[in-house]
Structure 1
Amino acid sequence: MLCPVIPRFVCLVAFVCGAGGAMAVCPAPPDHSSQISALLGEIQSAETEHEARLIGNELWTYWADAPDAEAQAILDRGMTRRSAYDFLGALADFDLLIAYCPNYAEGYNQRAFVNYLRRDFARALVDLERALALSPRHVAAMSGRALSLYGLGRLEEARIALESALAYNPWLTERYLLAPGGPLDMEDVEL
């Protein structure tokens, strides 16, 4: 269902309720916990950043595996819109995805990313908290949370959040924020 010309709320109601008025039900998100655990173990023992990046790409195949074909189509469309800098269109898609699949972490993570790009760090943080409640080892959401906290000037919390993400993936590019002289270096963070 495409909703480019009708208001987002009307589109959400039409999608969630369907043509017959019955509430559409999103299936449970796929359980990829064992694959994610294995990949997180591999990424922690990676010897190079390139190797870690390849493993990280594999993680995305699981995080971005939506509960059904309809949810996948909405997720993919929203990500395409985000990549094309159509942030309002992407937000509409991620709102739709979250309304349909409220227990799917990636909908929240992607909406948070769009809000982060729009520099709305507070809204991003709300969605990242929900994504992490649903998927506690979602390293991208963890690093996004750290970056959002940083954007809000909550440096000590950002440092702690980034350290948590780095415990799962020590190769994150955001690790440089903690480097000596970096904005989250303990020497520079005011407590």
Structure 2
Amino acid sequence: MRMLILALALSPAMAIAECPAPPDVRSEMLNLIARSQAAKTYTDGRRASAAMWEVWLRAPDAAAQEVLDAGLRRRDSYDFAGALAEFDRLADYCPAYAEGFNQRAYIHFLQEDYEAALVDLDIALGLQPLHIAAQSGRALTLMNLGRIDEARAQLLEAVENNPWLSEAALLAEGAPLGPKGRDI
């Protein structure tokens, strides 16, 4: 009975296979970071950002891709409990794949469980230090936890890697992560 429940919980491919190690995408990400930093127009900057997402959303195998896509569909339809279950499955099946943890962190963030989001973001960044979306997500999470100096530092790193992030507006003067006020 227990094996039947396990088999039903996993896709057929996941029930009999182990997740392969994610490919090393460091050089691909460094090229995309350089492309975003060199972009002269908003359109070119956003193209580089979209290409980064294509890399992060490339799962290690077809079974992991199926679960990731199912979680994204559930997230997009506001089924956060269902999305969380899918991302839990993905993290269990592919514990070396950063995007499973990044997406699970996003669900926690949307549910205002910032401590849980921070744990998953730290795992994602430990696995994929150049995951700029996880960097900016971590900054937003730290901001919501009231850890403003850490949030500012994290967002500055993310924006240095991709100056076209919409979150960069949070660093403007008078914004929540903007420069500290000056004494008179």
TM, length-normalised to structure 1 = 0.86
- 2:28 aligns with one of 4, 12, 35: 35
Deviation of the 1:133 alpha carbon? 0.3
Q: Residues 115 and 121 of structure 1 are in contact (CA less than 8 Å); yes or no, is this contact kept in structure 2?
A: yes
Letter aligned with residue 62 of structure 2: A
Equivalent pairs: percent with the same residue?
50
Q: Which runs of 5+ in 1 are unaligned?
A: 1-9
More helix by share: 2
Root-mean-square deviation (CA, aligned residues, Å) is: 2.1
Q: Which residue in 2 is equivalent to 1:68? A: 61
Q: Residues 30 and 66 of structure 1 are in contact (CA less than 8 Å); yes or no, is this contact kept in structure 2?
A: no
| CA distance, structure 1, for counterparts of residue 180 and residue 121 of structure 2 | 27
| CA distance, structure 2, for counterparts of residue 12 and residue 156 of structure 1 | 46
136 and 104 in structure 1: CA distance in 2 versus 1, 3 angstrom threshold: same
Q: Which residue in 2 is equivalent to 1:129? A: 122
Q: Residues 172 and 179 of structure 2 are in contact (CA less than 8 Å); yes or no, is this contact kept in structure 1?
A: no
Q: Residues 12 and 96 of structure 1 are in contact (CA less than 8 Å); yes or no, is this contact kept in structure 2?
A: no
Paired residue secondary structure (1:161): helix
Deviation of the 1:23 alpha carbon? 6.6
- 1:86 aligns with one of 79, 82, 85: 79
| 1:51 aligned onto 2:44 | yes
| CA distance, structure 2, for counterparts of residue 49 and residue 157 of structure 1 | 28
Q: Which runs of 5+ in 2 are unaligned?
A: none
| CA distance, structure 1, for counterparts of residue 63 and residue 72 of structure 2 | 14
Moved over 4 A (4+): 10-14
TM, length-normalised to structure 2 = 0.90
Paired residue secondary structure (1:62): helix
Q: Residues 26 and 130 of structure 2 are in contact (CA less than 8 Å); yes or no, is this contact kept in structure 1?
A: no
